[in-house]
Structure formats: C-alpha cells, structure tokens
Structure 1
Amino acid sequence: MKPNLSNELATKPHYPILDGLRGIAAIIVVTFHLAEPFSTSNLDKFVNHGYLAVDFFFLLSGFVMGYAYDDRWNKMTVGNFFKRRVIRLQPLVVLGMTMGAIGFYFTDSTLWPLIHDVPVWKMMLVMLVGYTILPVPLSLDIRGWQEMHPLNSVGWSLFFEYIANILYAVWIRKFSKTALSVLVGISAIALVHLAISNGDVSGGWTLNVEQVRIGLTRVMFPFFAGLLLSRVAKPTRIKNAFLWCSLLIAIVLYMPRIGGAEQVWLNGIYDSVCIVIVFPLIVYIGASGVIHSERENRVCKFLGDISYPLYMVHYPLVYFYVAWVSNNKGITIAEAWPYALLILIGGLVLAYAALKWYDEPVRKWLRKKFA
C-alpha cells in the first residue's frame, strides 16, 4: 500500500520562542516603515536599523528549513517540497498584492505623481505578476519608487527567499557540513564587503544589476548560515530566553546610526556584526530556550502566527499613512504618532483576521487538493 505522504511529512513541533521572536521582529518592521517618512536619508531614521529584520528573517528561515526538511528527503521529492512552500507562502502574497491594488488609486500623494496616469490594465498586470512574486521591470514601475513590487513593497524579500529555497532544494541540501561551511564563509565575506563599502546592507528591492546583487548577498549568508546552524547546533536549556532575545532584537534594530556620513564604514561593521554574530546567537538561544508558563507559550504562538500575515499586509496600509504625511508638509513624528499607532494596531488586527479568515482556510483547502 502506498504511504500517505501528508502523514509521512506531518508538521514537526515548532520552536515556540523562535516563532515569538519572528513576531517581535515583524512588529519592529512596521514601526520602521511608519518612522521612515520623517527621515531624509538612512543617516537619520528613527528606527535606524529596522531593515536588518529582513536579514534576521532570512536566518530564521534557513534554520527552520534545515530543521523541518533536512531529514525528509528520502520521503519527499523536490516537487513536493516546492508544493509545500508555495502553499505556505503564496496565499498571503496574493492577498497583499490584492490589497495594494485596491488601495492604489486612493494613495494620492506628491510622492507618487504617476498614480493617476496609470491605466487600470497596467495596474492589473502588475498585480497579476505580483501574484507570482516575480519582480516587475522598471517599465512597470507604476508608483515611481523603482520597486520590483510596486503594489506591496515587501514582496522583494519573498522573491529572494524563494531563490534561497530553490538553491536549497535542488543543490545545497546535499552539501556536507564542510561544503556548507565553505559556502557560508564565502557568503559572509561578500556580506561584510557589501556592508562596509555601502555603509549598510539596505537594498535589494529594485530589478537592476546592483540591487539584485545586494538582494542575493543579503539572503545567501543568513539563510545558509541558519541552515548550517540547524545542522551543527546542540541546543541546551536556557532560562528566560524569550525575554532576553526579544530585548536583544529590539536593541539591535532600534540602535541609532553609527559613524555618520563621514565614517559610513563603522555602520557597515555594525551591520556585519549583527548579521554574522548576533543573529545566529539569538537564534541559538531562542532554540535553546525553555517556555516557563502557558501564558508565555500563548504569547509566542500568537506572535508567531501573526508574524508573516503582518509582514505581508501592513505595507498597503503604510502607503495611505505615507501619503498622508507627504500631503501634510512639516508634520512631525510627535504630531503623527497617534496615526502611526492606529496603523500599527490596525495592521495587527488585519493580520490576525487575514490569518484566521483567509490564510489558514486557504492553506487547508490547498493541502487537501494538492498534498
């Protein structure tokens, strides 16, 4: 009798603390985007290192990928792997792009003078391409920010995560620990060079040679360092891990810019240390952490559940907020914070609603149909 593949590949238990940390980082990403309109450059952003949350997500994804799939390849084909990844990721990609399309013509702003000259057919084409998470060329830049996903800016990181998934499934999963260590070492050198020469690792959202290089450099080290960590780490039992890791993530991502315009390389060193040393340490501590109470477990579960939905649905709301800030010249962050708080709370509510009323039911249906 043919084995039931869905039973053979039943979901493994999660690391609850890592789920919770993903949620903490996702919330900080929202605050990063809400503070961005008040900055003039990367040098004076209020949530200055919020962009590093993406690199933390990449490392977490690599770690979880190794934990979840490394020992399953004798029961699973590459096709089945990609089917599972698409079922996990694409429903919220579609929702986020649809939300961006619905709100597109209503985000009237001096920032985006192109909007009202964009024909509906062109916007719909961008939405349909966005559903695939493939990037759109600059000729379809309907917003004017040179983004590969003009309807939902954050889609760029999913595009690079898919690339890492593909590399893992078709090739790198077969690497020995030594070969994987060499790859991670080379990727670390490339990442440090990018960070120090540019002053940070921010970038990757435009479909041109330089930005694609940045995106690939940003995903290669953390994703495959996470994979290596899942293979070599031997978690212990660490008390209060969720609290300490949460505080460490907040400190790292809210840290002001280092070095200023004259010594950008100092900030590049900071980014490098965070990604190469601090983030793997946080993941190791989180994987080793012990949940002390049912309340802490519920908090971690809630944060983990809403982390990906929040990441994928918050930016269509941020477009409205950014347009409002742009249309009210001279407004300060002290005056705008109630509206920012409203967007943050609304994003959390929307993320939870999207999870329960859309993402979970759709994934359940897709698993039944295609598993």
Structure 2
Amino acid sequence: MNNNQLGTKPHYRLLDGLRGVAAIIVVCFHLTEPLASSHLDNIINHGYLAVDFFFLLSGFVIGYAYDDRWGQLTIGSFLRRRFERLQPLVVLGMTLGAIGFYYTDSTIWPLIHTVPVWKLLLVMLIGYTLLPIPLSMDIRGWQEMHPLNSVSWSLFFEYIVNILYALGLRKLSNKALACFVVLTGVVLLHFAVTNPNGDVTGGWTLNAEHMRIGIIRTLFPFFAGLLLSRISRPVSISHAFFWCSLLVVIVLLMPRIGGADYRWMNGLYEAFCIILVFPFIVYIGASGVVHSQREAKLCHFLGNLSYPLYTTHYVLVYFYVAWVSNHKGITVWQAWPYALLTFSGAIVLAYGSLRLYDEPVRAWLRKKLK
C-alpha cells in the first residue's frame, strides 16, 4: 500500500493553529533568552515547554492519523510519510545554518575561528541525517548535538518516538498504554522536582545526562497524546481556539516559580503543565469548533507556518545572539528593535521556506517514494 492510496484524514484545524501559537512563543523565548542572566529572570520564562507541547500534539495527531490504518500501512510506508514531512526542512535548516556559520562571529563562540570548511561541511552532512554529533566535533562551543541549527535536537527525539511507535508500541492496548503513560509520567515528575536546575530543560547534547533528559521529555508527552487520541471523546466547545491559545500563552509566559531557593517548585509547575494542562488544552482544541472563515484561515496559516518557523528561526537567532553578546549590558528596551527585526525576518523566512521549498520538495518526494 503506497502513501497516496492511504490518503489523509481531515486535520484538527484548531490544533494546527495552536501549534503555530506555540512556535511563535518559541521564537520570542529565544529572542529574550540572551537578555536574561539566567532562567530565573527570563521574560518568557517557560517558553521551552513548547517543545513538550509539540511532542504531545505529535502523539495525538499520529494516533488520530495512523492508529486505525495498520491493516493497510507498513512500517516502511509510515516512516516514509514521516520522512517526507520532517526531513526537507531539516536539510534546509542545516544548510542555512552552515551558510551563516562564519558570519555569526562573537566572543561567545571562539571555536568558529578555528573550524575549517571541510569540518563545517561534514557537520552539515551529518546534520542532514539528524544523527547527533559527538562533543569532539562541536564547532560552535555550546555542546549542541546540532551546532548548525540548535533546535534540531527535538526532531532527533521526534524520530525516535515515531520509530518506537511504528516498531511496536502502537500495538499496546489502551490499558497497557495507560500503564506506560503513568510510568513515564512518574519518571517525568520525579525528574522535574529533583533536577538541581529546577526545570525540565535539556536534551541537546550527546552525553548520558542530556540523552536521559531528552528521552524523559519525549516519552510521556508523545504517548500521552497517543492515548488521548484513543480514549477522548471530543464534544463541541465554543471559542476553543481563543481559550486554548490564552492557556498556552499563560503557561509559557508564567514567571519563574520558587526563585533560586525553592527550585523544586518550578519543576513541579512544569510537570503539572506537561502532565495535566497540555493534555487538557489538546482535548479542548480537538473539541473546538471553527466559528468563522477568518478563524479557519488563521488556524490554517499558523499551522502551515509552525514547522518551518520552528526549524529555520534559530538560523537568524544566532546572528541576534552574537549581536547581543557583542553589546554587553544591553537592556530589553534597547534590544527590542533588533529583536523585532529578527522576529519579522523569521516569519518571512519561514513563509518563504514553506512556499518556495518545503511544499514543492514534499510533493516531489511523494512522487519519488511511492
């Protein structure tokens, strides 16, 4: 059975829109992050939780789209579909990151001066596969598994849970899946409240600690979303997009809780959001009704923009971070015009990437990978 014979199911429009809202907040988080002295005083303090929200959305959508199709679907055809969806923008993000690498010169990245072109190209080619590079090949100095496009670490874990789902976890009964979700939720809660940092951040470095964090952050939300897609019975809820968007904004913009003395309180807040609030938001979003053509167009636009915005924006953020680091002591009010310019450029870049590259390449791949 090829991909075209399976076709596609109707999208949850409101969930598409919520993905876009979260992606925009991710960009804003990365623009305010270099202006903060630590996670304790970042203006958009919990913006990184958008990644955990993406994982939950992904599990819900994967379950909805594929759970009842495995009589017609093979593991290979499922993975081809995921490859078609994810990989073109992975390649673009790495390529743009390589093009801009030597121009993001700053004292915070001293390694840039020492990186030969052949090593840059090798890291880019490895990045195309999403395989993480070892610390010995770090070319930026931030210990990222993908130093040309930092955010690609989450796509690495996205592939991992997609493969786990396809290879066998999709066969779990609802009861067994619920037990698995509870177990991974307990592990997530324990990590969040005992982590010395007081948060769930991590996953972007190829070492034991970050790999453990990445797995913890991925397993619960993805398979909780899968379980939710199986057992939820959506009802008609009015103005769901507004209320869900407001909840997403509140959760991700919430100031740090507990300060430096009671870090566990912030970890508890983040675990609460991932384990309870995010599934609630997804359920309400899946139950929502689109009330107007304007709302439908907005959700469609935000949904289409979300993935290219997420995968390409950090290419521009590298330039912005370099500029901030070269102007020590700059305030938010001094930096906002440059932040706004970077944000606007990220939107334009994402939309151009979608229309001029992602959509044509995916259409070509669908024909070639039948």
TM-score, normalising length from structure 2? 0.99
User: Deviations along 1:41-85, whole A, 9 cap, x unmatched?
Assistant: 221111100010000000000000000000111101101111110
Q: Is the 8 A contact 2:234 2:283 kept in 1?
A: yes
2:110 paired residue number? 113
CA distance, structure 1, for counterparts of residue 333 and residue 306 of structure 2:
27
2:50 to 47, 50, 53: 53
Q: Is the 8 A contact 1:98 1:127 kept in 2?
A: yes
The amino acid that maps onto 1:126 is V
The number of residue pairs the alignment matches comes to 368
Structure 1 runs, 4 residues or longer, greater than 2 Å off: 4-8
What SS is found at the alignment partner of 1:130? helix
What SS is found at the alignment partner of 2:360? helix
1:8, distance to aligned residue in structure 2 (A): 2.9
Does 1:78 find its partner at 2:80? no
Gaps of 5+ in 2: none
2:23 paired residue number? 26
Percent identity, aligned pairs only, is 69
The amino acid that maps onto 1:10 is G
Does 1:196 find its partner at 2:202? no
The amino acid that maps onto 1:210 is E
Gaps of 5+ in 1: none
The amino acid that maps onto 2:330 is I
Q: Is the 8 A contact 1:8 1:75 kept in 2?
A: no
CA distance, structure 2, for counterparts of residue 255 and residue 110 of structure 1:
31
1:170 to 149, 158, 167: 167
Q: How does 1:148-167 map to 2 (within 5 A)?
A: 148-167=145-164
Q: How does 1:1-371 map to 2 (within 5 A)?
A: 5-198=2-195, 199-371=198-370
CA distance, structure 1, for counterparts of residue 214 and residue 37 of structure 2:
23
User: Deviations along 1:87-125, whole A, 9 cap, x unmatched?
Assistant: 110000000000000000000101101101111111111
CA distance, structure 2, for counterparts of residue 196 and residue 43 of structure 1:
16
CA distance, structure 1, for counterparts of residue 221 and residue 201 of structure 2:
14
Q: Is the 8 A contact 2:3 2:81 kept in 1?
A: no
**Quick check: 38-47 or 96-105, which moved more?**
38-47
User: Deviations along 1:103-155, whole A, 9 cap, x unmatched?
Assistant: 00000101101101111111111100000011000011100000000000000
Q: Is the 8 A contact 2:96 2:315 kept in 1?
A: yes
The amino acid that maps onto 1:14 is H
The amino acid that maps onto 1:256 is P
CA distance, structure 1, for counterparts of residue 163 and residue 62 of structure 2:
12
The amino acid that maps onto 1:243 is F
Q: Is the 8 A contact 2:237 2:287 kept in 1?
A: yes
**Quick check: 42-51 or 317-326, which moved more?**
42-51
The amino acid that maps onto 1:122 is K
CA distance, structure 1, for counterparts of residue 191 and residue 50 of structure 2:
17
TM-score, normalising length from structure 1? 0.98
